[in-house]
Structure 1
Amino acid sequence: MDATVIKAILFDLDNTLIETNRASGFAIQKTRELLKSSLALDDDTVSSICDKFKKKLLHEKFDPAAGRSIDEVRVGHWDESIKETVDGSTPSLAAECYYMWKNSRLELLCLSPEICNLLKQLRKRYKLLLLTNGNAQTQREKVEAVGCERFFDAVVVGGDYAEQKPFPSIFRLCFDLLQVEARDCIMVGDSLDTDIQGGFSAQVRATIWINSTGDEVPVGSVTPDYTISTVLDLEDILARLN
């Protein structure tokens, strides 16, 4: 590592600054209750429907040019998941499930007071940029729900561009927005495949992996420069880097 002074910090959003996985689990539970009451289903059948939805979400390929909004696509995920499991699905029930899931998730997402304070303090010393992958509408709804734009010099949503993390092109865009070089920046995120690999490929000063579960780095994966269990430990790493 050289002695380059850090000028900017790039942050991931989901499961780095906000607990998206926890909010998603809560939203699925609320939707389970809706399905159970609407169709009088047993727990196993409801679980099967929800598991199918989560699998469709995981493998989702959204094409804006197809003429359907992300909301319409995800209503379709619920409709298909119900139809693949039981008789009696209706478009209205699928829409109810989707908006229950979507709104419940957004309601639970938040920046903790501790993270708000961290970002306020960091912005006194560094340029801060939020770099998040995902569908543009979905990610901007999260950004608005948690009110985090005020903490950042720029917000970049991968879905607005041809290439998302880990492609170097979107990192170069971020560097240009902040008017810094790659060596001036660090990347902080929870995903080895997108945040850490992307930062490494873009040749940032250092990569910091948020590993809240204590997992080992998988064999063959990129190795982060630093690993912390929560973003609140970032100040310790910055002190070492500076």
Structure 2
Amino acid sequence: MQLKAVLFDLDNTLMDRDYTFRSFAQQLVRECLVPMDEARREELVAEMIERDKDGYRPKEGFFQELIDWLPWREATSLQELKAYYDRHYMTHAKAMDHTEDTLQACREKGLRLGIITNGHSHLQHAKIDRLNLRRFFDVIVVSGDVEIRKPDRRIYELALDRLGSLPGETVIVGDHPCNDIWGAAQVGVRGIWLRRKHDWDESLEGGKPWRTISELNEISVLLEQ
């Protein structure tokens, strides 16, 4: 079938979450913790990144762990830390390299574009708007809006229905082996795996990526195929 549509994951696919979280963590350590030298600050930032598990941990549990573990200048509450996160996290948002050029190239090919992302509605929509990406997309499906999360097959079926494309006419681009590539493969959508932090999970059967890339600007060449 002729390719008609491309679905994209958001975090660590279109938005450079690694950069965004690290930059936010550096601000928190600098502003909210007891004075320390640069080496110790970087140790704490690295530990925060490790404990965050690439954003796949529930936020309240992660924030409570930070409250219990970090050396705060002043005692803080879960509510105060959540408010600090909401105020500052998105100010560090950065698009992945080649994002706009890649999306523009897809549009110029006449492809319909969609985002399919897990997360809280207000946060995911804020990321999209902060990066000025909404203008490229025909469809945006956020798990918090529809109460279905990847890799549940229904969220891919919903995205396809809204795009008006069949599985064989669609590819998905994402960094997570299960949530992006394997999950979409269960409904017949081919996956372009953007290699970031995650290794391929060999226990995932029936969902290997169609292609593997290291940078988004490789997509234009693949789509010519």
TM > 0.5 fold call: yes
| Preserved contact between residue 27 and residue 100 of structure 1 (Cα < 8 Å) | no
Matched, 1:141 2:126: yes
> 1:28, CA displacement in angstroms?
0.7
Matched, 1:14 2:16: no
> 1:91, CA displacement in angstroms?
3.1
Q: 1:220 aligns with which of 203, 207, 210?
A: 203
Classify the secondary structure of the residue corresponding to 2:203: coil
CA distance in 1 between partners of 2:50 and 2:194 (Å): 28
CA distance in 2 between partners of 1:108 and 1:101 (Å): 11
> 1:21, CA displacement in angstroms?
1.3
CA distance in 2 between partners of 1:147 and 1:176 (Å): 25
Matched, 1:162 2:147: yes
| Preserved contact between residue 191 and residue 210 of structure 2 (Cα < 8 Å) | yes
Matched, 1:105 2:89: yes
Q: Which residue of 1 aligns with 2:176?
A: 191
Q: Which residue of 1 aligns with 2:162?
A: 177
CA distance in 2 between partners of 1:52 and 1:186 (Å): 31
| Residue identity in the other structure for 2:179 | T
> 1:188, CA displacement in angstroms?
0.7
Any stretches of 5+ residues in structure 1 without a counterpart? 61-72
Q: Which residue of 2 aligns with 1:65?
A: none
For the structure 1 residues 40 and 155, does the alpha-carbon distance in structure 2 shift closer, same or farther, using more than 3 Å as the test?
A: same
Classify the secondary structure of the residue corresponding to 1:209: strand
CA distance in 1 between partners of 2:69 and 2:20 (Å): 26
For the structure 1 residues 211 and 84, does the alpha-carbon distance in structure 2 shift closer, same or farther, using more than 3 Å as the test?
A: closer
For the structure 1 residues 15 and 187, does the alpha-carbon distance in structure 2 shift closer, same or farther, using more than 3 Å as the test?
A: same
| Preserved contact between residue 23 and residue 105 of structure 1 (Cα < 8 Å) | yes
Q: TM-score, normalised by structure 1?
A: 0.76
Task: Give me the CA root mean square deviation.
Answer: 3.2
Q: 2:52 aligns with which of 38, 54, 63?
A: 54
CA distance in 1 between partners of 2:84 and 2:192 (Å): 34
Classify the secondary structure of the residue corresponding to 1:16: coil
Any stretches of 5+ residues in structure 2 without a counterpart? none
Q: Which residue of 1 aligns with 2:117?
A: 132
Classify the secondary structure of the residue corresponding to 1:197: helix
| Preserved contact between residue 10 and residue 115 of structure 2 (Cα < 8 Å) | yes
Aligned-residue sequence identity (percent) comes to 25
